[in-house]
Structure 1
Amino acid sequence: MNEGRLKMKTNLFISAAACALLAMPTMAATPMEGEKLAAEQVYTYRLLDDIKSFDPQINTDVEGSEIMRDLFEGLMNEDATGGLVPGAAESYTVSDDKLTYTFNLRDAKWSNGDPVTANDFVYAWRRLVDPATASEYAWYMELMGVKNASKVVKGEVAPDQLGVRAVDDKTFEVTIDTALPYFAAMTVHGSTFPVNQKVVETHGSEWTKPGNLVGNGAYVLTEYRSGERVVRERNPMYWDDANTIIEKTVGLIVNDENIALTRYLAGEMDQTDIPAGQYPRLKAELPDDTYSYPRSCSYIYWFNQGEKGNPALKDARVRKALSYTIDREVVVDRILQGGQYQSYNFTHQKTAGFELPEIDYASWTQAERDAKAKELLAEAGYGPDNPLSVKISYNTDEAHKKIAIAVSQFWKQKLGVNTELANSEWKVHTTNMQNGDYEIARYAWCGDYNEASTYLDLMTSYSGHNVSGWSDPEYDKLMKDSKTMADPNPNYAAGEQLLADNMVFAPIYQYTGIIMLKPEVKGFPIDNLMQNWYSRELYIVEK
């Protein structure tokens, strides 16, 4: 999916095997000594796009996930630096063979007063993989290695054969096929959050509307105006409500980042993204409001090699030529100017334990890349007498537009390629990609957990998000074999090399979070690489 912790606490997982993981300190919004809380505790921030769904098993978006973490609570949460802390589970144990996880649930209630039970997790996890749900994240449970997940997703066995069970109301047991040291961290992801079966079955497709939606998180959904705003307010039934300070969180949907900045500067918002190219100026003018930090996302251009794609893009020489001529230094240093990293691979270089592989063209000069691109495109049969024509699709955003224009100019000036640009709203853009209705499409993948497989598994043939039309048995085997390796980095490097050799997509840059944040807002997790933030961890002090 879709967002810095710089270290994943793997020692926590290893020491947990065969013994109880003692209940760790939970997160809470805790003002520092001398801080005086503002009278109004309302946090308002900018959303780029409308929300596709408030259903944890259906949502696929980063911004949607932020909302899910307010409305629902999974087994585990993350603290401000990305370390694991208890969520709906107070503790867990791991069997000697590291294949059975037993989560001990705390006493908690749904927002309607119902008790949260292990059956709620059983229902949600089965629902995620049930083909009838048609979740784009069904594959996530396969990545988690939950027993029979693949068979359920394929329709070979019923959802009740998934390796989960309720031992009793407060004990949720999961059986996995292969020991994964980062398994517990994967339960932070929204697709694994519980849902209330009674509410889903009572309201059907209407269950996520304000007034119908029942969650176990610190907030409830009180208002949703499509394309305008999402409002969630404090849930008095939440088990730790006594330590929650923010009363209301308002997400304002503003597609234009410059308009969003204007509204921020006018005091209408507490947080917004910094428009492309404006970080240096804003940092100089408003240093206490302006932040840049590593964030686990990679920005790419998909090349559609499927049936509906441009036939020319089935040729790896064409794909390489297009990728090589993208001047990433220009994109990062002249257009974005927010400390982003030039990218020649997929996995974000700050990912815990990841060793950045040596990709040949990454070490070339731009002139060398351009020369090789011209040679490859000519070999593929394109030139002045037979110019290549392609179409770039991107979702509405000024930075995406600027990058698309720059890329089209690189291709025209260096290769004579004619490029059509097409933008659409996020929902339409992602639907088109899922349906294969595009040629070249802007995309960003943000890690679901802090380990390289969150990126590389996406490119397997069984991934629900691989929309490229490309698959490779060797690549699939590398990723599957990596699950049982003490050090999977050799397989990760080989996988990255295969992606580069085939140029399945053009990697362009790796993210930093570049935001404006009011100094009065405290508790925002700047040091969490995944950018998993929770409204209940925030608070606002007097100016």
Structure 2
Amino acid sequence: MTLRRTLLSGTAAALVAMAGSAAFAQDMAGPNGEQLAENQTFTYRVLDEFPSIDPNLIEDVEGSAIGRNLFEGLMNQDSEGNVVPGVATGYEVSDDGLTYTFNLRPEAMWSNGEPVTAQDFVYSWQRAADPATASEYQWYMGLMAIENVDAVMAGEMDPSELGVTAVDDHTLEVRLTQALPYFPQMVTHTTTFPVPQSVIEEHGDAWTQPGNMVGNGAYVLEERVPQERIVLTKNENYWDAENVYLDTVTALIINDENQALTRYLAGELDQTDMPAGQFPRLSEEYPTEAISVPNLCTYYYNVNLTDAGLPALQEASVREALSLAIDRDVIVDSVLAGGQVPAFSLTHWATAGFEVPESDVMSMTQEERNARAQELMAEAGYGTDGEPLEIEILYNTSDAHRSVAVAIGQMWQQTLGVTTTLANQEWQTFLTTRGEKQYPGVARAGWCADYNEASSFLDIMQSDSGYNDSGFASEEYDSLMAEARTAEDPLPLYQQAEEIIMAEHPILPIYFYSTVFMLDDTIKGWPLENAQDNWYAKDLYRVAGE
């Protein structure tokens, strides 16, 4: 997907929520027969303010989590990442794989009590593809290979010409220009969720504000305080409300990981990301609460290849030297220490059906990598015995990102004689700076798969991708990715594309993520076996403590 990035709302409010759920909890057991707690609330921490909670405009991981709670798409994911029914009870696929017919459940309703229809999906998909919407995720609609989508996105055809049709209120037909075996996975993404046309037309950009927003998910937007919190409450009009246990879900925006951990240990949070390097200690002290599981995300640095970038960074040999000089083992074992895996490729090693291509650099020792890096830098005329080189590392404000940047800066200094400066920006400003390629050196990035298939990573490096934030352009690469979309076995093509990235170094892969966090013992239902870490609050519940 996708980009990877205060006090509780009040004691009185918490008591009201607890009182309201008490009778329910006393008479009900959890899905596995556990005794439910009276307090059916869940409070978790996020790093930054959400750029948007409009499904068609969401572009980050945390925004997607909010989107999955306020809205529901055609299909959902279960605890293992498998595609399961959402608004659609199922679908049929034509023999040629080009037409999908989704059957919508008649009991699905908006939070205002109106029915969810196939036309709501048609409107949403047309809106997402419409250039007038200016969605940062418009390109995702193009990846879905919907009939006429490229012409619609280019403004050459009206959005009404998009290949999606409401056959009737409960039947949605989608026509593709090429068969995509993973298409059902793609419709679990927030960009494809329905949005209420009448509400958007009435309120405009303010439709996502509390009191205005109408959704079709398990929760409704109760409160939003920018830079502080978002509060969601149970949607009684959700079609499966009787099986939703949590009454209230609160996301608190806390920019400091250590402060968040302190508040978690004080009982103010039920879940929080773990500060870098603290997993060994916390897993020993809190063995049932400290969690580390693989996650389909890759952490890397974009190198600015545009005219706004440093001249030295336009040379592939310099970029290669910088990559070689990063001691990834130190990053994952000493700086982060949370189960992360060193990365030399963009595509995550655990991606379904993918095998990372072999590379000489992977079999080298770090001493050998450093020696080769020094040779390359000397040949380019920079570094210890050449022209001084100073590189700015841009990252969004976070202690963990800063720790990684400091470590890499020291490696570049010691190995290559390259000095670094650190620059941090708050999330929304950072996204703009990086997206407009207005950083002179390198910019931190994290990409999480929108669906469990290699193209979800590799597509972002195509010349026209909205998230190609290095400005990399390769006709050969684009051609390989285009060919892969119709290939019976795309793996060899994916590997060739990956090899181009590994040879050209427009990005510097650093590590493959693990999701490392603290989770209160009483919260159950977290999808630890979902490699994409896509969680739904409707599947969580709190059990009674001992």
TM-score, scaled to structure 1: 0.94
Who is 2:81 aligned against?
Answer: 82
CA contact (8 A) 2:46 2:251 kept: yes
The 5-angstrom pairing of residues 378-397 of structure 1 reads: 378-383=378-383, 384-397=385-398
1:127-153 deviation digits (Å, cap 9, x = unpaired) = 111010111111111111111111111
Q: CA RMSD in A?
A: 1.2
CA contact (8 A) 2:255 2:398 kept: yes
The 5-angstrom pairing of residues 216-295 of structure 1 reads: 216-295=216-295
1:368-413 deviation digits (Å, cap 9, x = unpaired) = 1111111111221213341111110001111100110011111111
In the alignment, is residue 111 of structure 1 matched against residue 86 of structure 2? Answer: no
CA contact (8 A) 2:29 2:36 kept: no
Who is 1:49 aligned against?
Answer: 48
Secondary structure in 1 matching 2:76: strand
Deviation at 1:487, TM superposition (A): 1.6
Who is 1:138 aligned against?
Answer: 138
CA distance in 2, matches of 1:136, 1:87: 25
Secondary structure in 2 matching 1:207: helix
Match among 524, 527, 530 for residue 529 of structure 2: 527
Choose 359-368 or 441-450, whichever is displaced more. 359-368
1:30-88 deviation digits (Å, cap 9, x = unpaired) = 82555110001000011111100011111101000000000000000000011111001
CA contact (8 A) 1:343 1:509 kept: yes
Who is 1:159 aligned against?
Answer: 159
1:174-198 deviation digits (Å, cap 9, x = unpaired) = 0001111110110000000010000
Who is 2:58 aligned against?
Answer: 59
CA distance in 2, matches of 1:260, 1:239: 35
CA contact (8 A) 1:124 1:194 kept: yes
CA distance in 2, matches of 1:152, 1:314: 34
Choose 295-304 or 348-357, whichever is displaced more. 348-357
Who is 1:20 aligned against?
Answer: none
Secondary structure in 2 matching 1:132: helix
Name which structure has the greater RCO, CA cutoff 8 Å, separation 6+: 1
In the alignment, is residue 464 of structure 1 matched against residue 466 of structure 2? Answer: yes
CA distance in 2, matches of 1:285, 1:513: 19
CA distance in 1, matches of 2:115, 2:291: 40
Who is 1:342 aligned against?
Answer: 342
Aligned amino acid, residue 512 of structure 1: S
Deviation at 1:266, TM superposition (A): 0.5
Secondary structure in 2 matching 1:160: helix
Secondary structure in 1 matching 2:299: strand
Aligned amino acid, residue 56 of structure 1: P
Percent of pairs with identical residues: 53
Aligned amino acid, residue 102 of structure 2: F
Who is 2:14 aligned against?
Answer: none
CA distance in 1, matches of 2:164, 2:37: 45
CA contact (8 A) 2:68 2:217 kept: yes
The 3 A distance-change label for structure 1 pair 79 and 34 is: closer
Aligned amino acid, residue 491 of structure 2: N
The 3 A distance-change label for structure 1 pair 490 and 248 is: same
Who is 1:409 aligned against?
Answer: 410
Who is 1:436 aligned against?
Answer: 437
CA contact (8 A) 1:130 1:153 kept: yes
Aligned amino acid, residue 84 of structure 2: V
In the alignment, is residue 517 of structure 1 matched against residue 502 of structure 2? Answer: no
The 3 A distance-change label for structure 1 pair 160 and 398 is: same
Who is 2:401 aligned against?
Answer: 400
CA contact (8 A) 1:80 1:528 kept: yes
Who is 1:70 aligned against?
Answer: 69
Secondary structure in 1 matching 2:321: helix
Match among 484, 487, 497 for residue 485 of structure 1: 487
Who is 2:122 aligned against?
Answer: 122
Deviation at 1:353, TM superposition (A): 1.1
Secondary structure in 1 matching 2:166: strand
The 3 A distance-change label for structure 1 pair 207 and 33 is: closer
Deviation at 1:307, TM superposition (A): 2.1
1:92-150 deviation digits (Å, cap 9, x = unpaired) = 11111110000111121111112111111001001111010111111111111111111
CA contact (8 A) 2:43 2:252 kept: yes
Who is 1:313 aligned against?
Answer: 313
Secondary structure in 2 matching 1:151: helix
Deviation at 1:352, TM superposition (A): 0.9
Deviation at 1:367, TM superposition (A): 1.1
CA contact (8 A) 1:345 1:359 kept: no
The 3 A distance-change label for structure 1 pair 486 and 510 is: same
Aligned amino acid, residue 428 of structure 1: T
CA contact (8 A) 2:109 2:238 kept: yes
1:433-455 deviation digits (Å, cap 9, x = unpaired) = 11111121001000000111100
1:487-511 deviation digits (Å, cap 9, x = unpaired) = 2110111011000110011000001
Secondary structure in 1 matching 2:352: coil
CA distance in 1, matches of 2:396, 2:167: 45
CA distance in 1, matches of 2:300, 2:362: 15
The number of equivalent residue pairs is 518
Aligned amino acid, residue 86 of structure 2: G
1:462-494 deviation digits (Å, cap 9, x = unpaired) = 211111111111101111111112221101110
In the alignment, is residue 200 of structure 1 matched against residue 219 of structure 2? Answer: no
Who is 1:327 aligned against?
Answer: 327
The 3 A distance-change label for structure 1 pair 408 and 464 is: same
Secondary structure in 2 matching 1:59: coil
Choose 354-363 or 166-175, whichever is displaced more. 354-363
Secondary structure in 1 matching 2:361: helix
The 5-angstrom pairing of residues 165-180 of structure 1 reads: 165-180=165-180
CA distance in 1, matches of 2:154, 2:307: 23
CA distance in 1, matches of 2:161, 2:33: 55
Deviation at 1:461, TM superposition (A): 1.1
Q: Structure 2 regions of 5+ residues with no counterpart? A: 4-27
Aligned amino acid, residue 410 of structure 1: M
Aligned amino acid, residue 234 of structure 1: K
Deviation at 1:334, TM superposition (A): 0.4
Secondary structure in 2 matching 1:46: strand
Deviation at 1:430, TM superposition (A): 0.7
Choose 58-67 or 89-98, whichever is displaced more. 89-98
Who is 1:97 aligned against?
Answer: 96
Deviation at 1:423, TM superposition (A): 0.6
